[in-house]
Amino acid sequence: MQRLEGKSVAVIGLGVSGVAAARLAFAKGGDVYVSDSGTNAAATARAADLRAAGITVELGGHDIDRVARSGIVVVSPGIHPDAPVLRALGERQVRWISEPELAVQFYSGQLIAVTGTNGKTTTTLLIAHLLTEAGLRASAGGNVGGGLAPAASDLALLDEPPDWYVLEMSSFQLAGVETFRPDIGVVTNLSPDHLDHYGDVAAYFADKKRLFSTATSGSRWVLPRGDDAVRELVGEAPGERFYFGGDQADGSSAWVANGEMWFGIGGREEPCMALADFPLLGRHNVSNALAAGLVARLAGASTPAIAEGLRSARSLPHRMEPVAEARGVLWVNDSKATNVAATSSALESIDRPVVLLLGGKDKGEPFKPLLPGLRARVRRVLAYGAVGPRIAREVGGTVPTELLGNDFAAVVTRASELAEDGDMILLSPACSSYDMFESYEHRGRTFAALAEALA
């Protein structure tokens, strides 16, 4: 697709992706109508910007008749499936797509798509970094939060299109794809998440599975070795499979042996780099590096170039990010760990005693899967926020647990009082942030500021 002249486009939702979709559709000649049920300051400001560009915007509701008449309907990922506007469209049998589905119609290069439950952002940005460091033109975008990369639609408006587009795809975005077909698709891992949005885990996995809905024999899939949930998700989808993790003997194409990362493609085994030279914290980041390196290798980067790129990688904000160190205590911000699996992964990657800050808004997940990691590494759990009482009930009998309230500064101060020489104070909350903060980024920034002051 090159242009949208003569087509009406409706965009529901004025978040980052909704604004990007509206700007792309308008730039391509579409007759664009944007609506949002909100009227807050952020929505009002975004509406003003779009109106100044010549785009029609409605706040405080949706003109369902106008949306239903549109040739293309784009729904932002933050719109709940049971929202009245989507129910109304469903009753009229109106088809809708996600913002990346619109965006990729205007891409001219090859597409890499990354999904999974945890590690998506790190892997997405690391892939783009490795390709760029190897001399290939690559741009990252999609569901990358915190302003670290643009929306998928923004990439479609680049003056110089890249050779490789690298998109992080959430389950909400995959729910609205139809023709979306990556040249290389990546699944980092799978575990329950977003149970406050989906009715059950099966519904969440079903949206993830749509990554494979348009697979062909030419598709290439980069997958974690030994993840049964991912194996079931992929099923019999066409395409060639490449595995990371495990070892070379079980058919992996990226693995760790004798303290080194290795790649093996086309029968050729190549050592990449020593783990000791990899700068990111945690074993889960080694897994992310194996996945990203394998993708880069498939895209044409050499193994020595990948090694150089991995050596220059840096921690992303709010993802096992060291923010302070004093008196032998390391403070680590893992605010992006908004589900139990992410916190479990963080605990598995740590080799020192931990004072763990656990809490936030209840997403409905049980906390018992954390128990092995708590027993092995955590000296004290500080349970806080709306879900704090449930955390105390579910893990308090396993590891010493203090139930604190909604004063986050008091929680961090208590952690500082408890920490001893050699400990890590870890914010890895396993919950969303919306009971006390605007976002996980806001929570992470607050923790980092308090850590610097207390350290």
- In a domain? residue 2: no
- For 186, list phi and psi in degrees, rounded to 5: -125, 135
Mark whether 114 and 74 lie in a shared domain. Answer: no
Q: Measuring CA to CA, how many Å separate 210 from each of 106, 204, 213, 388?
A: 20, 11, 5, 35
Provide the domain limits for residue 134: 101-311
Mark whether 118 and 36 lie in a shared domain. Answer: no
User: Contact, 360 vs 336, CB < 8 A?
Assistant: no
- In a domain? residue 1: no
- In a domain? residue 14: yes
CATH number, position 25: 3.40.50.720
Mark whether 280 and 381 lie in a shared domain. Answer: no
Mark whether 222 and 182 lie in a shared domain. Answer: yes
Mark whether 403 and 307 lie in a shared domain. Answer: no
Mark whether 65 and 197 lie in a shared domain. Answer: no
Q: Which residues of 386-395 are buried (b: 16+ CB within 10 A; e: fewer)?
A: bbbeebbebb
Mark whether 339 and 421 lie in a shared domain. Answer: yes
Mark whether 223 and 256 lie in a shared domain. Answer: yes
How many C-beta neighbours within 10 Å does residue 257 have?
12
Torsion on CA atoms 265, 188, 279, 360, rounded to nearest 10: 180
- In a domain? residue 88: yes
**Rounded distance, CA 254 to CA 297, Å?**
10
Half-sphere exposure of 112 (CA within 13 A, CB side): 32
User: Contact, 253 vs 320, CB < 8 A?
Assistant: no
Mark whether 193 and 234 lie in a shared domain. Answer: yes
Mark whether 304 and 371 lie in a shared domain. Answer: no
Note down pLDDT in tens along the chain; length 455 residues.
Answer: 678 998 999 999 999 999 999 999 999 999 999 999 999 988 999 999 999 999 999 999 999 999 999 999 999 988 888 899 999 999 999 999 999 999 999 999 999 999 998 889 889 999 999 999 999 999 999 998 666 789 999 999 999 999 999 999 999 999 999 999 999 999 999 988 877 777 788 999 999 999 999 999 999 999 999 999 999 999 999 999 999 998 776 889 999 999 999 999 988 899 999 999 999 877 888 999 999 999 999 999 999 999 999 999 987 789 888 888 888 888 999 999 999 999 998 898 787 899 999 999 999 999 999 999 999 999 999 999 999 999 999 999 889 999 999 999 999 999 999 999 889 999 999 999 999 999 999 999 999 999 999 98
Mark whether 237 and 254 lie in a shared domain. Answer: yes
Enter the tokens of residue 432: 């969303």
Q: Which residue has the tokens 């992303």?
A: 316
**Rounded distance, CA 52 to CA 204, Å?**
38
**Rounded distance, CA 155 to CA 150, Å?**
7
Domain boundary among 96, 122, 142: 96
CATH number, position 290: 3.40.1190.10
As for how many domains the chain has, the answer is: 3
Torsion on CA atoms 444, 169, 46, 8, rounded to nearest 10: -170
DSSP symbols for 411-443:
HHHHHHHH--TT-EEEE--SSBSTTTSSSHHHH
Residues 253-307 pLDDT 10s: 999 999 999 999 988 899 999 999 999 877 888 999 999 999 999 999 999 999 9
Mark whether 335 and 357 lie in a shared domain. Answer: yes
CATH number, position 341: 3.90.190.20
Half-sphere exposure of 223 (CA within 13 A, CB side): 23
Enter the tokens of residue 355: 């004072």
Enter the tokens of residue 106: 């205007």
- In a domain? residue 3: no
